[in-house]
């Protein structure tokens, strides 16, 4: 347990440090960081297996006063490590005639640091330190956005750092308030900020103060999770960042922020009527889905398109969290599926951008004939993102609607379905425009560096596996996490 946690966290740190120390940059560093990512992915899987075997719903594999891995942490850790591995393997700085070494170095440093901070965020059990880690993710990821410094990237990085810092600061204010509540009612206790302790003693806490705290926390982490109306940084940052980073941000960073919200929700629900947190989450979730959906209708850039679809999906997850056990199950499953599908789509978008040298949908035509494999995989990614079978997101959206109807919230189901149709219509329109039509002149035909395609094809396979046979370990992991979050 402890060892696997060690091997989960340390390799990215090593890779980052190595990238800092070794200069000028050499390909070796890149490969080392790939290997490290692989190791930590293996470790995360081991961790997940251990948790499943331990089988205890929530009680917890506390490793020390500081670290703690339960099902939810393991789930997130697996996602993070997986996407990191993809990003690291397909990122710049691996082949000889690669990009500018300075850029590669910057990328390797902060990509690994980024991964490290995310992994820490999901495995640490002190809510304040969790906050520290999440704030750190902002800093590390922000440093990679202006990898190639253009006006756009600078603007995007400024908006990202400013909005997210302000938001995350609010989350800390919420944390402090909750702590204040705890200290005021329960007095000084060692490990009072460990959220298990918080949750155990939540019944004593002063409900209204806790509600205020949750308001701060929801807005704060919600900013990071891209919930509307705090999502505004997201399309800019995700579209300007280098594709591997976009993949990590969109695929898992948002999920990490929602992880924090889920943890706090568990605490607050123990003290106040869950109706409060549920309705807040429902409200922001529906708003996100709405804004995400309608921003997709008239969208000119495919990376921004993917970004808005992330907003929409995070909204769905938030709604799921508000819909009781089944909804939470659907939400967590959706997090996993979305991590795979969205990271894949962003990496493919990177290949398309590299070939067509434009992010405009209107100028990317005849993709299926220019890059047959990339094109078809991209199509698969989009079709998965709109929630069609046989891909995983269909299952999770199906469960989400079912949860809504079982919870008697028919109007939620109705609204979500209408919005999903809007999303489908717009995405399929854009996809249609990109895949078919005349090939623009001056674009070379055929695939280059085909092995990334293979890697991405694997994640397509994963998506199908998730959709057709939701594997037992994963569903067990998720249902354990549900029991950990919902009391």
Partner 1 sequence: MPSGNLGLVVMVLGYGAGAGLSLLAPSDRAARVLTAIGAAIGCIGGLIAASSVLVTRVPVDATFGSLVSAAGGVAIHLDPLGAFFLLLVALVGLPAAVYGVTYTSEYEGRHSLRLFGLMFNGFLLGMSLVPCAANIFTFLFAWELMAITSYFLVMTESQYAETRYAGLWYAVMTHFGFLVLLPMFLIMAPGSGATAFADLRTHAALMSGSAKSVVFLLAMVAFGSKAGLVPLHVWLPRAHPAAPSHVSALMSGVMIKLGVYGVLRVVVDFLGAGPAWWGGLVLAAGSISALSGVLYALTENDLKRLLAYSSVENVGVIFLGIGAGLVLQSYGLHTLALVGFGAALLHTLNHAFFKALLFLATGNVLHEAHTRNMERMGGLIKGMPQTAALFLIGSAAAAALPPLNGFASEWMVFQALLSGVQIPQPDVAIGAPLAIGVLALTSGLAAACFVKAFGISFLAMPRSEEAARARESHWSSRAVMGVLAAGCVGLGLAAPRIFDGLFRIAGSLFAAGSSASPPAVGRLWLAAPNGVAQVSPLLIAVAAALAIGVPVALLRWRGLQWRRADTWGCGRIQQTARMEYTSSAFAEPLRRVFSELYRPTEDLTINVHPDSRYFIRSITYTSAVVPWIERAFYDPVARGMRACATQVRRLQGGSVHLYLLYLSGALMAALVAAWWFR
Partner 2 sequence: MIADPLSQLVMLGSSGMLLTALIVLWRKGIPAYVTAYRWQSWLLAAITATVGYYGHDPQLYWVAAVLLALKGIAIPALLATMQRRFGAEREATPYVNTETSLAIAGALVLFAYVIARPWMTITTLPTRQGLPLALALLFVSLLIVVSRKKAMTQVIGFLMLENAIALLAAVGTYGVPLLVEFGVFLDALMGFLVMQIFVYHIHETFDTIDVEELTRLRH
Measured from the CB atom, is 27 or 433 closer to partner 1?
A: 433
Give yes or no for residue 64 binding partner 1 (CB under 8 A).
no
User: At its nearest, how many Å lie between partner 1 and the CB of residue 333?
Assistant: 7
Residue 139 binding result from partner 1, partner 2, none, given CB thresholds of 5 to 8 Å by partner type = partner 2
How far, CA to CA in Å, does 49 sit from each of 1, 46, 55, 77, 161? Answer: 10, 5, 10, 12, 36
Measured from the CB atom, is 15 or 478 closer to partner 1?
A: 478
- Cβ atoms 61, 55 nearer than 8 A: no
Residue 203 binding result from partner 2, partner 1, none, given CB thresholds of 5 to 8 Å by partner type = none
How many residues sit close enough to partner 1 to count as binding (CB under 8 A)? 74
Residues 143 and 417: their CA atoms lie apart, in Å, by 38
Angle of CA points 138, 140, 143, to nearest 5°:
100
Q: Which range touches partner 1 (CB under 8 A), out of 127-135, 178-186, 344-352, 435-443?
A: 435-443
Measured from the CB atom, is 49 or 407 closer to partner 1?
A: 407
Among residues 420, 434, 463, 482, which is the contact residue for partner 1, using CB under 8 A?
Answer: 420
Residue 372 binding result from partner 1, partner 2, none, given CB thresholds of 5 to 8 Å by partner type = partner 1
Residue 204 binding result from partner 2, partner 1, none, given CB thresholds of 5 to 8 Å by partner type = none
How far, CA to CA in Å, does 331 sit from each of 39, 185, 313, 323? Answer: 28, 33, 10, 9
Give yes or no for residue 414 binding partner 1 (CB under 8 A).
yes
Measured from the CB atom, is 105 or 334 closer to partner 2?
A: 105
Q: Which range touches partner 1 (CB under 8 A), out of 17-25, 131-139, 145-153, 425-433?
A: 425-433
User: What Rg do the C-alpha atoms of the chain give, in angstroms?
Assistant: 21
- Cβ atoms 485, 328 nearer than 8 A: yes
Tokens for 6, please give them: 């060690």
User: At its nearest, how many Å lie between partner 1 and the CB of residue 132?
Assistant: 21
Measured from the CB atom, is 137 or 290 closer to partner 1?
A: 290
Q: Binding marks (x or -) toward partner 1, 273..302, rule CB under 8 A?
A: ---x---x---x-----xx--xx-xx----
Return phi, psi of residue 69, to 5°: -125, 110
User: At its nearest, how many Å lie between partner 1 and the CB of residue 305?
Assistant: 13
Residue 21 binding result from partner 1, partner 2, none, given CB thresholds of 5 to 8 Å by partner type = none
DSSP type of residue 62 = E
User: At its nearest, how many Å lie between partner 2 and the CB of residue 19?
Assistant: 17
- Cβ atoms 237, 249 nearer than 8 A: yes
Among residues 180, 184, 229, 357, which is the contact residue for partner 1, using CB under 8 A?
Answer: 229
Measured from the CB atom, is 299 or 459 closer to partner 2?
A: 299
Residue 151 binding result from partner 1, partner 2, none, given CB thresholds of 5 to 8 Å by partner type = partner 2
Residues 137-156, interacting with partner 1 (CB under 8 A): none
Give yes or no for residue 441 binding partner 1 (CB under 8 A).
no
Residues 165-224, interacting with partner 1 (CB under 8 A): 166-167, 170, 208, 211-212, 214-216, 218-219, 222-223
CB neighbour class for 179 (10 Å; exposed up to 12, middle 13-18, buried from 19): middle
User: At its nearest, how many Å lie between partner 1 and the CB of residue 45?
Assistant: 20
Measured from the CB atom, is 263 or 430 closer to partner 1?
A: 430
Tokens for 276, please give them: 């409060």
How far, CA to CA in Å, does 374 sit from each of 48, 296, 350, 380, 381? Answer: 32, 22, 10, 10, 10
Measured from the CB atom, is 166 or 439 closer to partner 2?
A: 166
User: At its nearest, how many Å lie between partner 1 and the CB of residue 353?
Assistant: 21
Residues 182 and 162: their CA atoms lie apart, in Å, by 30
Scan for tokens 């895949």, then name that residue: 435
DSSP labels, 74-112 = HHHHHHHHHHHHHHHHHSSS-STT-S-HHHHHHHHHHHH
Residues 311 and 293: their CA atoms lie apart, in Å, by 9
Interacting residues of 55 by C-beta distance below 8 A, sequence separation 6+: 480
Give yes or no for residue 270 binding partner 1 (CB under 8 A).
no
Return phi, psi of residue 359, to 5°: -100, 5
Interacting residues of 3 by C-beta distance below 8 A, sequence separation 6+: none
DSSP labels, 397-434 = HHHHHHHHHHTT-HHHHHHHHHHHHHHHHHHHHHHHHH
Measured from the CB atom, is 140 or 328 closer to partner 2?
A: 140
By CB under 8 A, name the binding residues for partner 2: 126, 128-129, 132, 135-136, 138-139, 142-143, 146, 149-152, 154-159, 161-162, 165-166, 169, 172-173, 176-177, 179-181, 183-185, 193, 206, 208-209, 212, 235-236, 239-240, 295, 298-300, 304
Residue 154 binding result from partner 1, partner 2, none, given CB thresholds of 5 to 8 Å by partner type = partner 2
């Amino acid at each position: 347990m402890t060892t696997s946690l060690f091997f989960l966290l340390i390799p990215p740190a090593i890779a980052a440090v190595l990238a800092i120390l070794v200069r000028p940059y050499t390909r070796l560093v890149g490969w080392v960081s790939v290997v490290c990512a692989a190791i930590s992915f293996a470790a995360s899987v081991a961790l997940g297996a251990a948790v499943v075997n331990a089988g205890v719903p929530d009680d917890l594999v506390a490793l020390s006063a500081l670290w703690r891995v339960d099902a939810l942490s393991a789930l997130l850790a697996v996602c993070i490590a997986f996407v990191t591995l993809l990003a690291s393997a397909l990122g710049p700085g691996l082949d000889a005639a690669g990009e500018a070494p300075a850029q590669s170095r910057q990328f390797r440093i902060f990509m690994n640091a980024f991964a490290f901070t995310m992994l820490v965020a999901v495995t640490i059990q002190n809510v304040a330190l969790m906050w520290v880690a999440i704030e750190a993710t902002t800093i590390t990821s922000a440093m990679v956005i202006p990898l190639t410094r253009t006006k756009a990237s600078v603007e995007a990085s400024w908006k990202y750092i400013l909005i997210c810092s302000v938001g995350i600061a609010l989350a800390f204010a919420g944390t402090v308030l909750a702590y204040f509540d705890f200290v005021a009612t329960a007095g000084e206790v060692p490990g009072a900020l460990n959220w298990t302790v918080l949750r155990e003693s939540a019944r004593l806490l002063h409900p209204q103060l806790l509600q205020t705290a949750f308001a701060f926390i929801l807005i704060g982490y919600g900013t990071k999770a891209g919930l509307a109306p705090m999502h505004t940084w997201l399309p800019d940052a995700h579209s300007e960042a280098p594709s591997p980073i976009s993949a990590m941000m969109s695929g898992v960073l948002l999920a990490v922020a929602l992880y924090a919200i889920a943890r706090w929700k568990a605490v607050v629900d123990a003290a106040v009527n869950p109706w409060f947190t549920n309705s807040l989450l429902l409200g922001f979730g529906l708003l996100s889905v709405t804004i995400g959906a309608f921003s997709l209708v008239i969208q000119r850039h495919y990376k921004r398109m993917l970004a808005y679809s992330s907003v929409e999906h995070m909204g769905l997850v938030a709604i799921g969290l508000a819909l009781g056990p089944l909804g939470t199950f659907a939400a967590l499953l959706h997090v996993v599926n979305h991590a795979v599908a969205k990271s894949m789509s962003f990496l493919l978008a990177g290949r398309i951008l590299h070939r067509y040298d434009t992010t405009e949908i209107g100028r990317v035509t005849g993709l299926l004939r220019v890059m047959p494999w990339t094109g078809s995989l991209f199509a698969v990614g989009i079709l998965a993102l709109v929630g069609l079978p046989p891909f995983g997101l269909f299952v999770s959206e199906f469960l989400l609607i079912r949860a809504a109807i079982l919870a008697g919230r028919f109007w939620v189901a109705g609204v979500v379905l209408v919005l999903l149709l809007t999303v489908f219509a717009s995405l399929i329109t854009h996809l249609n425009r990109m895949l078919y039509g005349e090939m623009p002149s001056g674009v070379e035909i055929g695939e280059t560096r085909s092995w990334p395609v293979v890697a991405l094809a694997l994640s397509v396979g994963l998506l199908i596996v998730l959709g057709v046979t939701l594997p037992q370990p994963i569903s067990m992991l998720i249902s354990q996490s549900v029991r950990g979050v919902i009391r």
